Amino acid sequence: MASAPALATPPSLVDRHGRAIRYLRISVTDRCDLRCRYCMAEHMQFLPRDAVLRLEELAQIAERFVARGVTKIRLTGGEPLVRRNMMTLVEQLGRQIGQGLAELTLTTNATRLADHAEGLFAAGVRRVNVSLDSRDPAMFRHITRHGDVAQVLAGIEAARIAGLRVKINMVALRGLNEDEIPSMLAWVVANGMDLSLIETMPMGRIDEDRADRFLPLTEVMARLKPRFALAPDSHDSGGPARYWRIDESGSRLGLISPLTNNFCATCNRVRLSTDGRLHMCLGHEDSVDLKKAIREGGIHAVDEAIDRALAAKPERHDFRIEAGAAPAVARHMSVTGG
């Protein structure tokens, strides 16, 4: 893939609220081989392939963000590893590490991680986030509608053998996996990994009412504290999680709580969706079209579009979960990326 042409560096990425943008999340595809109930409808309509940014366009846009001050890129989906030739993008972005980019990471459901773990490490990836809401085979199959948890666990083990640090992302779901959270935390600690708990977010229409499954992390923590030695931790991974140290293990528990503990004041990120739209906030519909910019005006037009986005980035999201309420935004998480 061709690299973006050399350009004079425009001003750094600072939004209208004075927040420096150092983190870019890229959804490389809206497609996924699972159908998690809180994320997708069972019968999804995915974007046509000609509506998706080409891999070389993703690389050019990402490199421009790095030139303007982004130091961390996370590749997401959908499931990023289902995209054909995905590793060519990983390899190209990996060459930016040490050239302005400090870290390249990946969020995956791990169904295909066993095939790619060694290649990810060779390309410069050192950490992956794995979405895993249950280790119980029947519950995992229910939440994902057809997934095989053994395949995911094999991917996690392959990642650890390859030298990748693994963090488990677990969406807390009332009446489904809430009783598994303590055992998940114990398993993570025993295997030298980290765990992030996430409140379900009202994005895109699904087949259930999210209010029925919403589990506040304040409630979860009240259950965990009597069972685990948890101490506040100042660790900053670049994202929205607030961390706790677990015993003397070296493992961390992260809390991502968009509803019960708003984290927008320190927001340092923007998201590029698979259709080329730059979303300034996960909880707002506003976006600018970088696909049109790069195809019609090249990298100079991309810079101008990025500047427009920064000038419009809102101060905070407005997520609410209420019974029967419409989702906060119409797009599904798989379009924007986690």
189 token code pair:
């600690």
Burial profile 41-59: b = 16 or more Cβ within 10 angstroms, e = fewer: eeebebbeeeebbbbbbbb
Per DSSP bridges, beta strands 287-289 and 277-279 are antiparallel
Per DSSP bridges, beta strands 252-256 and 194-199 are parallel
Residue 13 lies in a domain: no
Among 335, 239, 198, 326, which Cα is nearest to 278's?
335
Query: Which domain covers residue 228, as residue numbers?
Result: 23-336
Return the pLDDT at 94.
98
Among 309, 260, 267, 304, which Cα is nearest to 288's?
309
- Counted domains in the chain: 1
Return the pLDDT at 7.
56
CATH of the domain at 178: 3.20.20.70
Residue 11 lies in a domain: no
Residue 114 lies in a domain: yes
Question: 315 and 264 in contact (C-beta within 8 Å)?
Answer: yes
pLDDT tens-digit map of 126-135? 999 999 999 9
Annotated binding site: 25, 32, 36, 38-39, 74, 78, 107, 131, 167, 201, 264, 267, 269-271, 281
Q: How far apart are CA 110 and CA 117, in angstroms?
A: 9
Residue 115 lies in a domain: yes
Annotated binding site for GTP: 25, 74, 107, 167, 269-271
Residue 18 lies in a domain: no
Residue 183 lies in a domain: yes
39 token code pair:
């994320």
Residue owning tokens 């963090």:
167
32 token code pair:
């996924």
Return the pLDDT at 288.
95
Annotated binding site for [4Fe-4S] cluster: 32, 36, 39, 264, 267, 281
Return the pLDDT at 335.
58
Residue 136 lies in a domain: yes
pLDDT tens-digit map of 256-278? 886 555 555 667 889 999 999 99
Q: Which of the residues in the chain have pLDDT under 50?
A: 204, 327
Q: How far apart are CA 166 and CA 145, in angstroms?
A: 24
Annotated binding site for S-adenosyl-L-methionine: 38, 78, 131, 201
